[in-house]
Amino acid sequence: MRREVICSLLVANRGEIACRIFRTCRDLGITTVAVYSDADADALHVREADLAVRLPGSAPADTYLRGDLVVAAARAAGADAVHPGYGFLSENAGFAAAVRDAGLVWVGPPVKAIELMASKTRAKELMAAAGVPLLAPVDPAAATPADLPLLLKAASGGGGRGMRIVRELAELPGELEAATAEAAAAFGDGEVFAEPYVQRGRHVEVQIMADDHGTVWALGTRDCSLQRRHQKVIEEAPAPSLDDALRTRLHEAATAAARAVGYRGAGTVEFLLSADGRPYFLEMNTRLQVEHPVTEAVFGVDIVALQLRTAEGQPLPEPPAASGHAVEARLYAEDPARDWQPQTGTLLALEVPHAPGLRLDAGYASGDTIGVHYDPMLAKVVAHAPTRPEAVRLLARALERARVHGPVTNRDLLVRSLRHPDFTAARLDTGFYDRHLESLTAPVSGDPARAALAAALAQAARPAAGPARFGAWRNLPSQPQTKRYRGEPDGVEQTIAYRATRTGLQPYDDPGVRVLAAAPDRVTLDVDGVTRRFDVTVHGDRVHVDTAGASYTFTALPRFTDPAAQTEPGSLLAPMPGTVVRLAEGLAVGARVRAGQPLIWLEAMKMEHRVLAPASGALTALHAAPGHQVEVGALLAVVQEAPSAPATVPPEENA
């Protein structure tokens, strides 16, 4: 069998996965080539590549989903191989064929394997032959109440995009339309299918690795049950609480599937475990998974390096043995307390502590801009330790101590999730966040008043601008100075009073606190006999305070509030930059709406987001129309409040 030697690799992707593949390429002495959209011209993956080729435009459909442009970029840069990463074109058989037809090495499975596993019917036949129960597909046009609840899924992709749970038959047409639009935007293919939705199920998967010489590895199991919007948030390996018989059954089924299609490279076979432990085949992903690092940690392998070597025709060595437990958390720029709204802006700081067993796979660095066009995942943080409790503890503490400044993120949610009794006891299922989100996003239980005090003292400790002023010494106690801060994102205001004494700065009305040291970047306080340190970072009017157990963000407020800064009651403001994709049916000035009713749909970061009526009443202004580009905070509409307003917008739009 002829063997290829890869010398220069183009990664047909962006962000974290492109950076991660480049890292392995550097270790192997392979030249790296990036592609980038206009929105990604200064992105981290572009900076880390040896060469980079522009794909004109910003929308995925015009750039990262254009296989012809990617192949042309590989030729222009002199690459001899293409790695698709995950998402975008990674499971597109036509793209894989185009890469091979161009004389390039395809770092992925054979085109035929992609085609077979892309066929949901063929994939289910393979699993049936392996004795794994299946979820029979449901024709949406013929669905009845007995078929509910249903899960709508995109046929050509994953990552939760294009997925919807339908619990009421009247919701099905609208959810089909939304799922189709989202799938088309994310994958360039709007095909959607339906299957029964399993309540309280666990998402468990098997990592496989295969070569052209007949070897197939089953590299253990992963549990990916903690999901939001059907997209994984926390993953771990091995999947806890599975008996040996079930593990063996899953391994055998995954291996049989790989052999049946002549698989090569890395792939994942996904299963849904019902509450009684019965496995149902979901799908086979013919690509690298986002969560592959937990398997790498447990088995001590580099899966990307194995992909490259099998693409070159090299055989796999002896399968490695598993050791310990690994947990991964995905850090997103999003606000879980506000319907997981993605956030944009400048990532002012992203620093995760270094420690044995910790790994950071990032797609952004401090100072980068988080835009609106792509997935809001900033990084993945992985912890590996001898046991599950140790790995969970290590990861939670690392996230808690991380400095993440800028837009709101899900960092606090991740820490609380890892420490939740259900998670620590491995009581896992895909409904975790449906049940616990409210408690996991409740206001942080810390000491924001002392954090605001640290912010004020750090500000007071900064050298004054301009020439020195004389006459500051006085024998009488000085009058207190005050500073005001608004907590983010809770909006709670703190007014801090302090004064300068002969021993230094001291709080004015907080007898339980003594200031031990105050510098512009760190304040040390004695709080009721306990020494506490506060690291303070200022970016314009935003102040970030990091302590041993919590992090706080404040906006420094002027001494007096500008009355012109008030927002008209009942205003619907754009929660993020995006494109208006549709309005509720019949929505027009004069329409009656109910509080909480979806009125406007925005597309941002490849997903649809609903803008809800802030109150019951009449629509008195409408400034949005399909196709409009809006910035965050843009006024979309105004509702004049009225008690118990009967809605004139059709009720099916409430889905």
Convert the pLDDT of each residue in 61-116 to its tens digit.
999 999 999 999 999 999 999 999 999 999 999 999 999 999 999 999 999 999 98
The tokens for 146 are 């007995």
Sheet holding 105-106, edge to edge: 51-54, 31-36, 8-11, 81-83, 105-106
Q: Rounded to whole angstroms, how far apart are CA atoms 113 and 95?
A: 13
Residue 472 lies in a domain: no
Residue 564 pLDDT exceeds 60? no
pLDDT of residue 289: 97
Mark whether 400 and 512 lie in a shared domain: no
| Single-letter residue type at 549 | G
pLDDT of residue 559: 63
| Rounded average pLDDT over 237-261 | 94
Contact 391, 360 (CB under 8 A): no
Mark whether 268 and 387 lie in a shared domain: yes
Start-to-end C-alpha separation, the chain = 56
Cβ neighbours around 486 below 10 Å, total: 17
| Rounded average pLDDT over 139-161 | 77
pLDDT of residue 15: 97
pLDDT of residue 468: 41
Residue 254 pLDDT exceeds 50? yes
Mark whether 509 and 430 lie in a shared domain: no
Contact 515, 501 (CB under 8 A): no
Alpha-carbon distances of 445 from 196, 416, 532, 551, 552, rounded to whole Å: 40, 11, 16, 11, 11
pLDDT of residue 473: 45
Query: What DSSP state is assigned to residue 168?
Result: S
Mark whether 224 and 350 lie in a shared domain: yes
pLDDT of residue 655: 38
Q: Rounded to whole angstroms, how far apart are CA atoms 628 and 578?
A: 8
Domain end (from 557, 578, 593): 557
Residue 124 pLDDT exceeds 50? yes
Helix axes 303-311, 292-299, angle to 10 degrees: 90
Close Cβ partners of 47 (under 8 Å, ≥ 6 residues apart):
none
- Rounded (5°) CA angle 608-610-612: 175
* Percentage of the chain lying above the pLDDT 70 cut: 92
By DSSP bridging, strand 81-83 and strand 341-342 are unpaired
Domain of residue 576, CATH code: 2.40.50.100
pLDDT of residue 181: 85
Cα 628 versus chain centre, distance: 26
pLDDT of residue 79: 98
Cβ neighbours around 89 below 10 Å, total: 25
Residue 633 pLDDT exceeds 90? no
Residue 467 lies in a domain: no
Residue 651 pLDDT exceeds 60? no
Higher-scoring residue by pLDDT: 6, 151: 6
Query: What DSSP state is assigned to residue 134?
Result: B
Domain of residue 278, CATH code: 3.30.470.20
Cα dihedral sign, 343-349-355-360: positive
- When divided into structural domains, the chain yields a total of 5
The length of the chain is 655
Residue 499 lies in a domain: yes
Domain of residue 173, CATH code: 3.30.1490.20
Confidence of residue 159 (pLDDT cuts 50, 70, 90): low
The tokens for 47 are 């900076």
State pLDDT tens for residues 516-542: 999 999 999 999 999 999 999 999 999
The tokens for 528 are 């009721």
Mean pLDDT of the chain: 89
DSSP per-residue letters across 258-285: HHHTT--EEEEEEEEE-TTS-EEEEEEE
Mark whether 41 and 86 lie in a shared domain: yes
| Single-letter residue type at 96 | A
Nearest residue to 81 via CA among 147, 125, 150, 24: 24
Q: Is the pTM of this model over 0.85?
A: no
Residue 2 pLDDT exceeds 70? no
Query: What DSSP state is assigned to residue 226?
Result: E
pLDDT of residue 562: 44
Close Cβ partners of 103 (under 8 Å, ≥ 6 residues apart):
none
Q: Rounded to whole angstroms, how far apart are CA atoms 345 and 338?
A: 17
Residue 466 pLDDT exceeds 50? no
Higher-scoring residue by pLDDT: 162, 150: 150
pLDDT of residue 569: 74
| Rounded average pLDDT over 444-450 | 85
State pLDDT tens for residues 351-393: 999 999 999 999 999 999 999 999 999 999 999 999 999 999 9
| Rounded average pLDDT over 394-399 | 98
| Rounded average pLDDT over 549-561 | 83
Phi and psi at 199, nearest 5°, equal -75, 145
Cβ neighbours around 237 below 10 Å, total: 30
Nearest residue to 456 via CA among 404, 509, 499: 499
Domain of residue 21, CATH code: 3.40.50.20
Residue 653 pLDDT exceeds 50? no
pLDDT of residue 142: 79
Residues 615-627: b if buried by 16+ CB within 10 A, e if exposed: bbbbbeebebeee
Mark whether 492 and 587 lie in a shared domain: no
Could you tell me if residue 33 is left (phi over 0), alpha (psi between -120 and 50 degrees) or otherwise beta?
beta
Confidence of residue 469 (pLDDT cuts 50, 70, 90): very low
pLDDT of residue 614: 84
Mark whether 184 and 252 lie in a shared domain: no
pLDDT of residue 248: 95
Domain end (from 557, 591, 614): 557
* Percentage of the chain lying above the pLDDT 90 cut: 63
CA atoms within 13 A on the CB side of 650: 9
Mark whether 318 and 396 lie in a shared domain: yes
The H or E element containing residue 614 is none
Cβ neighbours around 640 below 10 Å, total: 15
The tokens for 349 are 């700081």
Mark whether 190 and 247 lie in a shared domain: no
The tokens for 173 are 């047409």
Q: Quote the domain boundaries for residue 223.
A: 201-440
Domain of residue 453, CATH code: 3.30.700.30
Alpha-carbon distances of 362 from 12, 179, 237, 332, rounded to whole Å: 17, 29, 20, 11
- Residue whose structure tokens are 């309280």: 200
Residue 117 lies in a domain: no
Of 169-178, 240-249, 382-391, where does mean pLDDT reach its minimum? 169-178
pLDDT of residue 577: 79
